Amino acid sequence: MALMLKGARLIDPQVGLDEVADILIRDGVIVEIGHDLEMPKGVERDLSGKIITPGLVDIHVHFRDPGFEEKEDIISGSRAAAHGGFTAVCPMPNTKPVIDNAVGVEYVKSRAKDAKCRIILCGACTKDLAGQVLSDMGDMHASGVKAFSDDGRGIQDAGMMRRVMEYASQFDAPIMLHCQDDSLVGDGQVNEGAASTRLGMIGWPAVGEEAEIERDILLCRLTGAPIHIQHITTARGLDMVRAAKAEGLPVTCEVTPHHLFLTEDDITDQYQTSLKVNPPLRTADDAVALVEGVVDGTIDAIVTDHAPHTDWEKDRPFEQAPFGMVGLETSVGLVLTKLVDTGIIDYARMIELMAVAPREILGLEPVKLEAGSVADLTVIDPDVSWTVSRDDFYSKSGNSGFLGWSLKGRASDVYVGGYSTMEEGVVVD
């Protein structure tokens, strides 16, 4: 099949490209990029006024499949991903049962055949996320796993964390780390400090995150294993990563839009459970530091930590409601509105954060706007204005902390291997 995408602005910092041009695609691969291209037969689309980037990738999502499909499943999650502009996502293995063996991996692979985006496989570090016994990492890697994570529960024992790093090193697969010291965090609900005092809730101290970031950087130095700090939230934690990078250690990190654009001050009463996330929303100073980390390169990737829950779960009192919010369908609009349109970063930096670095972190083949590259592409309409509404979501869940926000810019079309998974804002069935 031949496909011609005409007249869009093509941006790819990997190849120094930023110009209006055409893309010719055949059999899922970019054949040619140029001006006034022609093809004898095929589908042609006029994308004038829009922007084409290498396909966006989210390396931190929760699809709840198997075990919690009432919240989300691989198919519904992939539809939400396509609607958000993503060509690939990496679901975390904290399902029920946990993806801690090759059988679980094969289940995900079987479900992924019908997904609307590529599903990157991730396996647990330890059996049942219990932090006691190593998972079947070798078998899972042989089945296609690209990374390992006990996301949702930090590995508490330093000796076990060292063994995980040493074992994973032989596969050249990064460990994606949920840094949380349970002895410090305890039953924390919101950031410890002004928010916990004002709301009368148990505080979640920043040091509960920072202590494990420091520990895991030390173990990275010891083992040489590549590590990836998930959903970083504090200025001090970011300084630790910055220092580790300066030392040359194989350390990367990610941030979510909700930790960039929301703070503890946004939680004004005990009923805003959509703002209950793990780790919690931090201070305004922390948010400023995170934005600086996005600008200066300390932060490698923007991810969503898409964490769907049912209405009845989130409708419970704050202390009883689960942690997490959905994010796949708002991420691009938030980044465009809050970072790109304000001039804090440009499109090239956005693409590095949301398309290039995520692939590099997981050791995936790069996708570039050049001949010979697979045609995984995201098309962005930079001018469309829209309001975040649950009625607009393809996700099964609507627990977003951004409902009602007015945004400018969003993905309009998505191509995976040259085939459209979304056209003009509608996911293709």
Q: State phi, psi for 351 to the nearest 5 degrees.
A: -65, -40
In the chain, the largest separation of any two C-alpha atoms, in whole Å, equals: 69
- The count of C-alpha atoms lying within 13 angstroms of the C-alpha of 326, restricted to the half-sphere facing its C-beta, is 32
Q: What are the structure tokens assigned to 343, written together?
A: 């001039």
CA dist., res. 272 & res. 279, Å (int) = 16
- Residue 143: how many CB atoms within 10 A of its CB? 18
Q: Which residues contact 362 (CB under 8 A, 6 or more apart)?
A: 59, 90, 120, 146, 147, 174
DSSP 72: -
| DSSP string for residues in 35-61 | SS---SSSEEEE-TT-EEEEPEEEEEE
CB atoms within 10 A of CB 162: 18
81 Cα distance to chain centroid: 10
Contacts 24+ apart (CB under 8 A), 243-248: 244/217, 244/220, 245/298, 247/221
User: Is residue 299 within 8 Å of residue 293, measured between CB atoms?
Assistant: yes
Q: Which residues are catalytic?
A: 305
Q: Helices then strands (H, E): number in the chain?
A: 14, 20
Cα distance between residue 276 and residue 143, in whole Å:
35
Contacts with 348 (C-beta within 8 Å, 6 or more apart), sequence order = 11, 13, 18
Distance from the Cα of residue 372 to its chain's centroid: 26
* Helix residue ranges, H only, 129-256: 137-142, 158-169, 182-185, 194-199, 207-223, 235-247
> Residue 345 carries which side chain, given as an amino acid letter?
I
Burial 369-380 (b: 16+ CB within 10 A, else e): bbeebbbbbbbb
**Tokens describing residue 80:** 């939400």
Residues in the chain: 429
Q: Write phi, then psi, for 320 (nearest 5 degrees).
A: -95, -15
